[in-house]
Each structure stands twice: as structure tokens, then as C-alpha cells.
């Protein structure tokens, strides 16, 4: 798997920063709107977790990753992320294995379901 490029960030808009401009003496604010990690695996490279504020950000992160990875690739995509699933289907992906998230001792999720597009993989719990 190729080495990722350096992280990038974009300045928040006024709407993102609460609607009012920052004083000129304040440093520019940045906010992370998504991230995607990847790793080599025994059978294929694996991308995940994928955390993003919305479908467009998730799609852009995946597109950037796919442009830099050759060979077989796994992504454990959440069933609810149908828009990203369509993007992956169009790039030749097919469902290869089921993945069920299980919790012990609590019914509360530890992640944010709205922002979690893909998990790191079953090997990591």
C-alpha cells in the first residue's frame, strides 16, 4: 500500500464557525470533517475506519484512497451507507463477506452511526 500524503485541512467557513467572523487577532480555525485509514492485510489491503460528516466527504476520501491502491481491497461498509455503496458498486466492488457489529453488556453504540461509514475490520473487534 502506498504511503498516504500529508494530512490536509480546510479553514472553516463563517457558518461552520458559528456564523460570526473571527476577530482578526484570532488564528484561523480548522475542523476535521472526515478521515480514512488503511492498512495492508493478509488477503488484501483494507481501508477503514472511514468517519465523515456526510456522503460527499466520505466519497471524496474513498475516491482518493482508491486512486492510490492497486490490487484487492476490502472495506467493511455500514449497511446504512447506500450512497457510498452505489459509488463502490460502480467501481467494481461486490459484497464478499457479512459483518455484524456486536455489543456485550450494553445496547449503546460507542461510535456515531451517522458519521461511521466503514469500520476498521473484524480482526480489531
Helix (H) or strand (E) holding 87: helix 82-90
Q: What does the pLDDT read at residue 107?
A: 72
Q: Is 57 helix (H, G, I), strand (E, B) or coil?
A: helix
∠ CA 1-125-54, nearest 5°, is 65
Helix (H) or strand (E) holding 37: strand 34-39
The cell for 5 is: 500524503
Cβ neighbours of 46 (radius 10 Å): 23
Res. 120 pLDDT band, cuts 50 70 90? confident
Express each pLDDT in 55-88 by its tens digit. Answer: 999 999 999 999 999 999 999 998 889 999 999 9
Output the CA–CA distances (angstroms, integers) from residue 25 to 21, 29, 56, 104, 115, in the order listed. Answer: 11, 12, 33, 49, 33
Rg from Cα positions in the chain: 17
Express each pLDDT in 13-66 by its tens digit. Answer: 444 444 444 455 556 678 899 999 999 988 899 999 999 999 999 999 999 999
The cell for 60 is: 471524496
* C-alpha 18 chain-centroid distance: 25
Give the DSSP letter string of 5-23. PPP---BPPTTTTTSSPPP
pTM of this prediction? 0.70
Amino acid at each position: 500500500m502506498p504511503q498516504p500524503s500529508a494530512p490536509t485541512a480546510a479553514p472553516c467557513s463563517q457558518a461552520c464557525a458559528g456564523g460570526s467572523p473571527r476577530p482578526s487577532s484570532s488564528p484561523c480555525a480548522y475542523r476535521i470533517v472526515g478521515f480514512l485509514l488503511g492498512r495492508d492485510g493478509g488477503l488484501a489491503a483494507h481501508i477503514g475506519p472511514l468517519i465523515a460528516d456526510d456522503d460527499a466527504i466520505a466519497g471524496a476520501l474513498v475516491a482518493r484512497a482508491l486512486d492510490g491502491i492497486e490490487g484487492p481491497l476490502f472495506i467493511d461498509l455500514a449497511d446504512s451507507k447506500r450512497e457510498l455503496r452505489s459509488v463502490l458498486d460502480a467501481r467494481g466492488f461486490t459484497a464478499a463477506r457479512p459483518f455484524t457489529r456486536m455489543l456485550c453488556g450494553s445496547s449503546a453504540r460507542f461510535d456515531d452511526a451517522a458519521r461511521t461509514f466503514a469500520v476498521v475490520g473484524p480482526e480489531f473487534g
